[in-house]
Structure 1
Amino acid sequence: MPDPPKEDPFLENHHDEADAGAAFVLQSKVLDHCETSGRRHIRFRELAADVLGSGLMFYFVIFIQTAINTGIGVGAILLAGECLQIIYSSISPNGSLQLYEFIAMVTVVMIVLSQLPTFHSLRHINFFSLLLSLGYTILVVAACIHAGKSKNAPPRDYSLEPKSSTRVFNAFTAISIIAAIYGNGILPEIQATLAPPATTGKMVKGLTMCYAVIFVTFYSAAISGYWVFGNKANSNILKSLLPDEGPALAPTWVLGLGVIFVLLQLFAIGLVYSQVAYEIMEKKSADVKQGLFSKRNLIPRLILRTIYMSFCGFMAAMLPFFGDINAVVGAIGFIPLDFVLPMLLYNITFKPSKTSLTYWINISIMVIFTGAGIMGAFSSIRKLVLDANKFKLFSNDVVD
């Protein structure tokens, strides 16, 4: 007789008593409806460790995930603070408030919102974030077209950097940023658990929708911004539309609404990507035997999440490198986690024939993106070092 199927250790009534991170932070009201035959992973690091049979891989993935989530947390707070600064500067051009003060304001709001205890509790915020993203894209594209056709349209320079070595470094930095953008596709893995059962078909639909939204939003804004401003386009295109000198290049109400949309969406982004850090912390700090809102679990959650968000806010204020942060996170985080490790796990788990097309496609992706990741890490860190000469600690301007 075959061995009976193992019970799913991650269902609500079968959590490891010490694993409060899965029981609380990753809580979902529909997990009891998922299949119970065999072990079902809800955390990528456990899947990687089981398939590769290495405890070191568990900690390697934790390191990568921590780098990704902390980097995005810092970047989200930084850009949100910059959005507040843009609004303030338009209302009070000679105001005395500095960028780090706006970052502090954003950090306080993030600390309050971070007390939402579970990923499931963010579902309405995430949907609202999707609408904001689409709305922002429409506004930015319309504003760029208006600016490009107006009499005040800026001169456009589409020329490349004169030095070939600089072009190479910039190319790999761009690859790292693109990897960070498309790395957001890992979220449908979590979203798939919200509609039982989590099947391959639903995952494909989720990924298709995710990449379609990313393509429409990111690329439409990038292409329209580059069309208007060429290689002088700011990483925050709203700053290009609101030049330091001369009139705004789009209607004030459009730009103001766009800034508000970005600001609100950044709160959602920061909250979503902080969940992995919270799950790691609360795996040991919380007691699964006691209630989610019990004094025993509430106080450590309040303290740890406040410390984490305060750290992200402090780093954002001290090192305002928005574009560079994106590139570093993409190179050392998203590239290995999204483009290398999944191919390796697939080949080991399903063991496709070494003469099959699938096997060699996976190997090719691993080799190409490993090289791209190494070069991207080198080039993005190089740019970070070069940009370090352009600012002081707690600078009032974001370095692109």
Structure 2
Amino acid sequence: MVEDVASSNQQQQQPQVFDVSVEGYQHGDSKFFDDYDHHKRAGSVWTASAHIITAVIGAGVLSLSWAIAQLGWVAGPAVMILFSLVTYYCSTLLCVCYRTGDPVNGKRNHTYMEAVRSNLGGFKVKICGCIQYANLFGVAVGYTVAASISMMAIKRSNCFHSSGGKNPCHMNSNAYMIAFGVSEIILSQIPDFDRLWWLSIVAAVMSFTYSIIGLGLGVDKVVENKRVKGSITGITVGTVSESQKIWRTFQSLGNIAFAYSYSMILIEIEDTIKCPPRESTTMKKATFISVVVTTLFYMLCGCFGYAAFGDSSPGNLLTGFGFYNPFWLLDIANAAIVIHLVGAYQVYCQPIFSFVEKMAADRFPNSDFVNKEIKIPIPGYHPYRLNLFRLVWRTIFVIMTTLLSMLLPFFNDIVGVLGAVGFWPITVYFPVEMYIVQKKIPKWSTRWVCLHMLSFACLMVSVVAAAGSVVGIIDDVKAYKPFRTNY
């Protein structure tokens, strides 16, 4: 039974077994809201680190052994370290842009786009919005593909084990993508980042779980081989053609860039942090912790995967069937991947959800469908506020990403494209430009020139990485039949 709050007299006259009320936000209550009419922030270094690790140690870690195989023992680790340094440095620049003007009492920028609007303004805001939200949408597609591959890997490993390797165990990924989509429809009703801390912590634990298993299996394989595979220059011409060597090298840059992509949600994560201390100070600590931890894991997982398989390193370390046994351990690892991606999907999609819902609220301020909420009591917990617009729009969004995933289930190439497209503009260009404006760095000064040289170098990396990944997708599409291809 749904009744309006205004009809309280009727509620008193009728006995109720299930009390549900419809109401809007009651702002101004100091118990729940701060001076900016925003839910009080309770985030810390550890919750911010959990959000970042959830976003960063994701599906990208599984393709790193393949990426290092394309680059070799010298260039592979060197490129990974360079990407980590660039990501960390540019993230520290971006942290400063959370507030405009005074770093303590200046205007808060709740989203990445707001930061761009406050510091740069003009047409750059629209460009930033298009790139950021297209990339976030693409990440949702990529994570749906990765989750379905891991779910299939569980079934296939059990199939291989029961048949002794005689059954090829072909299967279609569509059912698994649909199952993942259904779970995301349910979880997408979590209102915002502030309520996601528990999901991020669970996802972060899962990311460590499968990364450690992948690392352990890689070490075991190296011991079993009694030698370290691979070469200084990576996969050799002959194993692949000269053109393939070039394109794969470029694509590997995109894969490594994707493994470090979280700048697009950094401002949104920083907006969950309590103050004092200063939000930028806390966020810089969280960024340092997260980048150090993820780089350590990346180096270990990528290098040991390459050492175990050499030129034949699979595009997805745990689902490319480089490992077959122990099958139960692989099942645990792939289950951890699925659980992690369920949470990571939400972390990446929350900025899109918030952006669309804010636009709708501004456009239709008097619409009950957009603004009113149904307050549903949950025994032993806070009432859940169901918003009908949020329910409909977020469900449609998840359905769209699921359908696109079913059309383009190419994990490795999609990862490369996403990393390449998002790396330069989101991770480097906008943070550099906003920082220059925020700190009023003089034009043509030494620091100004160095920052722009860094930006230009990263632009070149993004261009060649995107080219390599697009070539990979074109090759995949030639042999693919939408909704029908089995694996």
TM-score range, shorter chain: 0.7 to 0.9
Match of 1:113? 187
Deviation at 1:96, TM superposition (A): 7.8
Match of 2:336? 261
Deviation at 1:263, TM superposition (A): 1.0
Match of 1:50? 118
2:193 and 2:269 in contact (8 A); partners too? no
Aligned pair partner of 1:232 in 294, 312, 316 = 312
Q: Where in structure 2 are the equivalents of 1:290-301 lying within 5 Å?
A: 292-293=373-374, 298-301=387-390
Deviation at 1:354, TM superposition (A): 4.7
Which secondary structure state, in structure 2, belongs to the residue aligned with residue 239 of structure 1?
A: coil
In 2, distance between residues paired with 1:206 and 1:276?
19
Deviation at 1:356, TM superposition (A): 4.4
Match of 1:391? 480
Q: Where in structure 2 are the equivalents of 1:106-185 lying within 5 Å?
A: 106-150=180-224, 158-162=234-238, 163-185=241-263
Give the AA of the match of 1:387: D
2:111 and 2:268 in contact (8 A); partners too? no
Instruction: Verify: 1:379 aligned to 2:468, yes or no.
Output: yes
Which secondary structure state, in structure 2, belongs to the residue aligned with residue 391 of structure 1?
A: coil
Aligned pair partner of 1:89 in 152, 156, 164 = 156
Using a 3 Å threshold, how does the CA distance of structure 1 residues 372 and 159 change in structure 2: closer, same or farther? closer
Identify the structure with the greater strand proportion. Answer: 2
Give the AA of the match of 2:188: S
Match of 2:351? 276
Aligned pair partner of 2:450 in 361, 374, 397 = 361
In 2, distance between residues paired with 1:362 and 1:153?
43
Match of 1:304? 393
Greater CA drift, 157-166 or 57-66: 157-166
Q: CA RMSD in A?
A: 3.0
Structure 1 vs Structure 2: percent identity of aligned residues? 22
In 2, distance between residues paired with 1:52 and 1:293?
39
Deviation at 1:151, TM superposition (A): 6.4
Using a 3 Å threshold, how does the CA distance of structure 1 residues 161 and 266 change in structure 2: closer, same or farther? farther
Question: Mind listing any 5+ residue stretches in structure 1 that lack a counterpart?
Answer: 1-10, 16-22
Match of 2:176? 102
Give the AA of the match of 2:302: A
Deviation at 1:262, TM superposition (A): 0.7
Which secondary structure state, in structure 2, belongs to the residue aligned with residue 194 of structure 1?
A: coil
In 2, distance between residues paired with 1:388 and 1:352?
47
Match of 2:138? 71
Which secondary structure state, in structure 2, belongs to the residue aligned with residue 237 of structure 1?
A: coil
- The structure 1 segments of at least 4 consecutive aligned residues displaced by more than 6 Å after TM superposition are 151-157
Deviation at 1:121, TM superposition (A): 1.2
Greater CA drift, 264-273 or 361-370: 361-370
Give the AA of the match of 1:46: E
Deviation at 1:397, TM superposition (A): 5.1
Match of 1:334? 423
Give the AA of the match of 1:263: V
1:141 and 1:224 in contact (8 A); partners too? yes
Question: Mind listing any 5+ residue stretches in structure 2 that lack a counterpart?
Answer: 1-32, 44-98, 161-166, 377-384
Larger Cα Rg: Structure 1 or Structure 2?
2
**TM-score of the superposed pair, with normalisation by structure 1:** 0.83
**TM-score of the superposed pair, with normalisation by structure 2:** 0.69
Identify the structure with the greater helix proportion. Answer: 1
Using a 3 Å threshold, how does the CA distance of structure 1 residues 202 and 322 change in structure 2: closer, same or farther? same
Give the AA of the match of 1:221: C
